[in-house]
Amino acid sequence: MHKIGPDLESLRSIFDLDGRRAIVIGAGGGIGSSVAHGLAAFGAEVVCADLDHASAEKTAQQIEEMRGIARAVPIDVTSRDSVSSVFKELDSIDIVVLTAATNVRKRLLDMTLEEFRRVESLNLEGTFLVLRECGAKMAKQGRGSIVVFSSIRAQVVEPGQGVYAATKAGVLQLVRTLAAELGPEGVRVNAIAPGVVETALTAPIKADSDWYDAYAQKSVLRRWAQPEELVGATIFLASDASSYVTGSFLTVDGGWLAADGRFTPKL
Protein backbone atom coordinates (compact mmCIF):
# COMPACT_ATOMS: atom_id res chain seq x y z
CA MET A 1 0.00 0.00 0.00
CA HIS A 2 1.28 3.46 -0.89
CA LYS A 3 1.95 5.70 2.11
CA ILE A 4 0.15 9.01 1.85
CA GLY A 5 2.42 11.94 2.64
CA PRO A 6 1.85 15.69 2.73
CA ASP A 7 3.09 16.34 -0.83
CA LEU A 8 1.03 16.25 -4.02
CA GLU A 9 3.13 13.52 -5.62
CA SER A 10 2.46 11.05 -2.80
CA LEU A 11 -1.24 11.86 -3.00
CA ARG A 12 -1.27 11.19 -6.75
CA SER A 13 0.50 7.88 -6.20
CA ILE A 14 -2.50 6.28 -4.52
CA PHE A 15 -4.01 5.66 -7.96
CA ASP A 16 -0.75 4.28 -9.37
CA LEU A 17 -0.95 0.65 -10.51
CA ASP A 18 2.63 0.28 -11.73
CA GLY A 19 4.03 -3.19 -11.04
CA ARG A 20 0.61 -4.74 -10.46
CA ARG A 21 -0.99 -7.50 -12.46
CA ALA A 22 -4.72 -7.34 -13.17
CA ILE A 23 -7.04 -9.81 -14.82
CA VAL A 24 -10.24 -8.52 -16.38
CA ILE A 25 -12.81 -11.24 -17.02
CA GLY A 26 -15.12 -10.07 -19.77
CA ALA A 27 -12.44 -7.94 -21.42
CA GLY A 28 -13.58 -8.78 -24.93
CA GLY A 29 -16.00 -5.88 -25.15
CA GLY A 30 -18.26 -3.36 -23.42
CA ILE A 31 -17.42 -2.41 -19.86
CA GLY A 32 -14.72 -5.06 -19.58
CA SER A 33 -12.75 -3.74 -22.52
CA SER A 34 -12.95 -0.16 -21.25
CA VAL A 35 -11.84 -1.25 -17.77
CA ALA A 36 -8.91 -3.20 -19.21
CA HIS A 37 -7.75 -0.08 -21.06
CA GLY A 38 -8.16 2.01 -17.92
CA LEU A 39 -6.13 -0.33 -15.72
CA ALA A 40 -3.35 -0.38 -18.30
CA ALA A 41 -3.37 3.42 -18.50
CA PHE A 42 -2.66 3.55 -14.77
CA GLY A 43 0.28 1.18 -15.15
CA ALA A 44 -1.09 -2.30 -14.56
CA GLU A 45 -0.12 -5.33 -16.58
CA VAL A 46 -3.49 -6.56 -17.82
CA VAL A 47 -4.56 -10.11 -18.56
CA CYS A 48 -7.58 -9.83 -20.85
CA ALA A 49 -9.82 -12.86 -20.31
CA ASP A 50 -12.99 -13.73 -22.17
CA LEU A 51 -14.92 -16.69 -23.52
CA ASP A 52 -14.44 -15.02 -26.91
CA HIS A 53 -10.66 -15.31 -27.08
CA ALA A 54 -10.44 -13.36 -30.33
CA SER A 55 -12.16 -10.37 -28.76
CA ALA A 56 -9.88 -10.56 -25.72
CA GLU A 57 -6.87 -10.65 -28.03
CA LYS A 58 -8.16 -7.56 -29.81
CA THR A 59 -8.42 -5.66 -26.51
CA ALA A 60 -4.91 -6.77 -25.51
CA GLN A 61 -3.53 -5.71 -28.88
CA GLN A 62 -5.15 -2.29 -28.57
CA ILE A 63 -3.58 -1.83 -25.13
CA GLU A 64 -0.15 -2.78 -26.44
CA GLU A 65 -0.54 -0.33 -29.31
CA MET A 66 -1.06 2.34 -26.65
CA ARG A 67 2.23 1.21 -25.04
CA GLY A 68 0.56 -0.76 -22.28
CA ILE A 69 1.33 -4.31 -21.21
CA ALA A 70 -1.35 -6.89 -21.92
CA ARG A 71 -2.04 -10.40 -23.08
CA ALA A 72 -5.16 -12.46 -23.67
CA VAL A 73 -6.37 -15.77 -22.26
CA PRO A 74 -9.57 -17.73 -22.90
CA ILE A 75 -11.87 -18.39 -19.95
CA ASP A 76 -15.28 -19.92 -19.42
CA VAL A 77 -16.53 -18.81 -16.01
CA THR A 78 -19.20 -21.51 -16.05
CA SER A 79 -16.45 -24.14 -16.08
CA ARG A 80 -14.64 -24.95 -12.83
CA ASP A 81 -11.71 -26.42 -14.76
CA SER A 82 -11.38 -23.35 -17.01
CA VAL A 83 -11.43 -20.88 -14.11
CA SER A 84 -9.03 -22.98 -12.05
CA SER A 85 -6.62 -23.34 -14.98
CA VAL A 86 -6.45 -19.59 -15.62
CA PHE A 87 -5.66 -18.69 -12.02
CA LYS A 88 -3.18 -21.54 -11.58
CA GLU A 89 -1.27 -20.23 -14.60
CA LEU A 90 -0.89 -16.80 -12.97
CA ASP A 91 1.95 -16.89 -10.46
CA SER A 92 0.58 -13.79 -8.75
CA ILE A 93 -2.39 -11.47 -9.18
CA ASP A 94 -3.07 -8.11 -7.57
CA ILE A 95 -6.39 -7.09 -9.13
CA VAL A 96 -9.34 -9.11 -10.38
CA VAL A 97 -12.24 -7.45 -12.20
CA LEU A 98 -15.26 -9.55 -13.21
CA THR A 99 -17.70 -7.99 -15.66
CA ALA A 100 -19.05 -11.05 -17.51
CA ALA A 101 -22.84 -11.46 -17.33
CA THR A 102 -25.88 -12.45 -19.34
CA ASN A 103 -29.63 -11.84 -19.22
CA VAL A 104 -32.88 -13.30 -20.49
CA ARG A 105 -35.64 -10.69 -20.34
CA LYS A 106 -38.84 -12.59 -19.68
CA ARG A 107 -41.58 -12.56 -17.09
CA LEU A 108 -41.03 -15.22 -14.46
CA LEU A 109 -44.09 -17.22 -15.52
CA ASP A 110 -42.72 -17.42 -19.07
CA MET A 111 -39.13 -18.29 -18.08
CA THR A 112 -38.03 -21.84 -18.82
CA LEU A 113 -35.84 -23.77 -16.41
CA GLU A 114 -33.13 -23.88 -19.08
CA GLU A 115 -33.20 -20.09 -19.41
CA PHE A 116 -33.11 -19.68 -15.63
CA ARG A 117 -30.09 -21.95 -15.39
CA ARG A 118 -28.31 -20.17 -18.23
CA VAL A 119 -28.47 -16.83 -16.42
CA GLU A 120 -27.74 -18.30 -12.99
CA SER A 121 -24.83 -20.39 -14.24
CA LEU A 122 -22.92 -17.45 -15.68
CA ASN A 123 -23.89 -14.63 -13.34
CA LEU A 124 -23.98 -16.34 -9.96
CA GLU A 125 -22.22 -19.68 -10.16
CA GLY A 126 -19.54 -18.18 -12.40
CA THR A 127 -18.94 -15.41 -9.88
CA PHE A 128 -18.62 -18.00 -7.11
CA LEU A 129 -16.03 -19.97 -9.08
CA VAL A 130 -13.97 -16.86 -9.81
CA LEU A 131 -14.16 -15.58 -6.23
CA ARG A 132 -13.14 -18.95 -4.84
CA GLU A 133 -10.07 -19.25 -7.07
CA CYS A 134 -8.79 -15.69 -6.91
CA GLY A 135 -9.69 -15.34 -3.23
CA ALA A 136 -7.58 -18.34 -2.29
CA LYS A 137 -4.60 -17.06 -4.28
CA MET A 138 -4.83 -13.55 -2.85
CA ALA A 139 -5.25 -14.82 0.70
CA LYS A 140 -1.94 -16.69 0.36
CA GLN A 141 -0.32 -13.52 -1.00
CA GLY A 142 -1.74 -11.41 1.81
CA ARG A 143 -2.97 -8.75 -0.59
CA GLY A 144 -5.33 -8.09 -3.47
CA SER A 145 -8.36 -6.19 -4.69
CA ILE A 146 -11.38 -7.92 -6.25
CA VAL A 147 -14.00 -5.88 -8.09
CA VAL A 148 -17.19 -7.61 -9.21
CA PHE A 149 -19.83 -5.96 -11.35
CA SER A 150 -23.27 -6.34 -9.82
CA SER A 151 -26.11 -4.03 -10.96
CA ILE A 152 -28.74 -1.62 -9.71
CA ARG A 153 -31.01 -4.64 -10.30
CA ALA A 154 -29.60 -6.03 -7.07
CA GLN A 155 -31.73 -3.34 -5.39
CA VAL A 156 -34.63 -2.56 -7.73
CA VAL A 157 -36.46 -4.65 -10.31
CA GLU A 158 -39.00 -4.39 -13.10
CA PRO A 159 -41.05 -6.96 -15.05
CA GLY A 160 -38.81 -9.23 -17.10
CA GLN A 161 -35.70 -8.75 -14.94
CA GLY A 162 -36.42 -11.17 -12.11
CA VAL A 163 -33.78 -13.84 -12.67
CA TYR A 164 -31.08 -11.35 -13.63
CA ALA A 165 -31.91 -9.28 -10.55
CA ALA A 166 -31.81 -12.35 -8.31
CA THR A 167 -28.35 -13.28 -9.57
CA LYS A 168 -27.02 -9.75 -9.17
CA ALA A 169 -28.35 -9.58 -5.61
CA GLY A 170 -26.66 -12.90 -4.98
CA VAL A 171 -23.41 -11.56 -6.42
CA LEU A 172 -23.55 -8.66 -3.97
CA GLN A 173 -23.94 -11.00 -1.01
CA LEU A 174 -21.05 -13.19 -2.21
CA VAL A 175 -18.91 -10.05 -2.43
CA ARG A 176 -19.85 -8.95 1.09
CA THR A 177 -19.24 -12.41 2.50
CA LEU A 178 -15.81 -12.78 0.92
CA ALA A 179 -14.90 -9.27 2.08
CA ALA A 180 -15.72 -10.33 5.64
CA GLU A 181 -13.84 -13.60 5.34
CA LEU A 182 -10.70 -12.29 3.66
CA GLY A 183 -10.37 -8.88 5.30
CA PRO A 184 -7.96 -10.24 7.92
CA GLU A 185 -5.81 -11.60 5.06
CA GLY A 186 -5.42 -8.15 3.48
CA VAL A 187 -7.80 -8.84 0.58
CA ARG A 188 -10.47 -6.29 -0.35
CA VAL A 189 -13.65 -7.26 -2.22
CA ASN A 190 -16.12 -4.73 -3.62
CA ALA A 191 -19.05 -4.52 -6.03
CA ILE A 192 -19.87 -1.91 -8.64
CA ALA A 193 -23.51 -1.39 -9.56
CA PRO A 194 -23.94 0.20 -12.99
CA GLY A 195 -27.20 1.69 -14.12
CA VAL A 196 -28.08 1.48 -17.80
CA VAL A 197 -24.96 1.28 -19.97
CA GLU A 198 -24.80 1.10 -23.74
CA THR A 199 -23.36 -2.37 -24.33
CA ALA A 200 -24.26 -5.50 -26.29
CA LEU A 201 -26.24 -6.72 -23.26
CA THR A 202 -28.60 -3.73 -23.46
CA ALA A 203 -28.83 -3.60 -27.27
CA PRO A 204 -32.44 -4.93 -27.30
CA ILE A 205 -33.49 -1.99 -25.11
CA LYS A 206 -31.70 0.56 -27.25
CA ALA A 207 -33.48 -0.83 -30.31
CA ASP A 208 -36.83 0.20 -28.79
CA SER A 209 -36.89 4.01 -28.76
CA ASP A 210 -39.66 4.27 -26.13
CA TRP A 211 -37.86 1.85 -23.83
CA TYR A 212 -34.52 3.55 -24.40
CA ASP A 213 -35.92 7.02 -23.69
CA ALA A 214 -37.77 5.84 -20.56
CA TYR A 215 -34.52 4.51 -19.13
CA ALA A 216 -32.73 7.72 -19.99
CA GLN A 217 -35.37 9.77 -18.18
CA LYS A 218 -35.20 7.57 -15.05
CA SER A 219 -31.62 8.66 -14.46
CA VAL A 220 -31.36 12.11 -12.88
CA LEU A 221 -28.69 12.84 -15.51
CA ARG A 222 -31.32 12.01 -18.16
CA ARG A 223 -29.05 9.80 -20.23
CA TRP A 224 -27.45 6.38 -20.50
CA ALA A 225 -23.87 5.69 -19.46
CA GLN A 226 -21.05 4.79 -21.81
CA PRO A 227 -18.76 1.86 -20.87
CA GLU A 228 -15.79 4.16 -20.25
CA GLU A 229 -17.77 5.91 -17.48
CA LEU A 230 -17.30 2.80 -15.31
CA VAL A 231 -13.51 3.02 -15.50
CA GLY A 232 -13.02 5.64 -12.76
CA ALA A 233 -14.92 3.64 -10.15
CA THR A 234 -12.94 0.54 -11.04
CA ILE A 235 -9.57 2.30 -10.79
CA PHE A 236 -10.61 3.67 -7.41
CA LEU A 237 -11.51 0.24 -6.04
CA ALA A 238 -8.51 -1.48 -7.60
CA SER A 239 -5.98 1.02 -6.28
CA ASP A 240 -4.71 2.20 -2.91
CA ALA A 241 -7.08 5.15 -3.19
CA SER A 242 -9.66 2.78 -1.68
CA SER A 243 -7.33 1.05 0.80
CA TYR A 244 -9.98 1.19 3.55
CA VAL A 245 -12.92 0.27 1.32
CA THR A 246 -14.19 -3.31 1.28
CA GLY A 247 -17.58 -4.99 1.18
CA SER A 248 -18.99 -1.90 -0.55
CA PHE A 249 -21.71 -1.50 -3.19
CA LEU A 250 -20.65 1.43 -5.35
CA THR A 251 -23.44 2.69 -7.60
CA VAL A 252 -22.52 4.26 -10.93
CA ASP A 253 -26.06 4.82 -12.10
CA GLY A 254 -26.54 8.50 -12.93
CA GLY A 255 -28.66 8.86 -9.80
CA TRP A 256 -31.15 6.12 -10.74
CA LEU A 257 -31.42 4.76 -7.19
CA ALA A 258 -31.37 8.22 -5.62
CA ALA A 259 -34.60 9.50 -7.20
CA ASP A 260 -38.09 8.25 -6.42
CA GLY A 261 -40.19 7.37 -9.44
CA ARG A 262 -40.32 8.71 -12.97
CA PHE A 263 -42.51 11.75 -12.27
CA THR A 264 -41.27 15.23 -11.42
CA PRO A 265 -44.01 17.11 -9.55
CA LYS A 266 -44.70 20.78 -10.15
CA LEU A 267 -43.32 22.71 -7.22
Closest C-alpha among 110, 107, 111, 188 to residue 146: 188
Note whether residue 266 is domain-resident: no
Is residue 43 over pLDDT 70?
Answer: yes
Contact 115, 210 (CB under 8 A): no
Render pLDDT for 212-256 as a digit per residue (tens, 0 to 9).
999 999 999 999 999 999 999 999 999 999 999 999 999 999 999
Q: Which pLDDT score, from 0 to 100, does residue 262 have?
A: 67
Q: Is residue 193 within a helix (H) or strand (E), and if so which, with residue range?
A: strand 187-194
CATH at residue 38: 3.40.50.720
Note whether residue 52 is domain-resident: yes
The angle, 0 to 180 degrees and rounded to 10, between the axes of the packed helices 162-182 and 113-120 is: 30
The catalytic residue among 164, 212, 215, 244 is 164
Note whether residue 242 is domain-resident: yes
Note whether residue 257 is domain-resident: no
Query: Residue 164 catalytic?
Result: yes
pLDDT band at 2 (very low <50, low <70, confident <90, very high): low
Note whether residue 167 is domain-resident: yes
**If you average pLDDT over residues 23-48, what whole number do you get?**
98
Note whether residue 264 is domain-resident: no
Note whether residue 255 is domain-resident: no
Residues 6+ apart with CB under 8 A from 187: 135, 138, 139, 143, 144, 145, 146, 178
Domain count, the chain: 1
The single-letter code of the amino acid at 33 is S
Note whether residue 183 is domain-resident: yes
Residue numbers of the domain that contains 24: 8-250
Count of Cβ atoms closer than 10 Å to residue 141 Cβ: 14
pTM passes above 0.85: yes
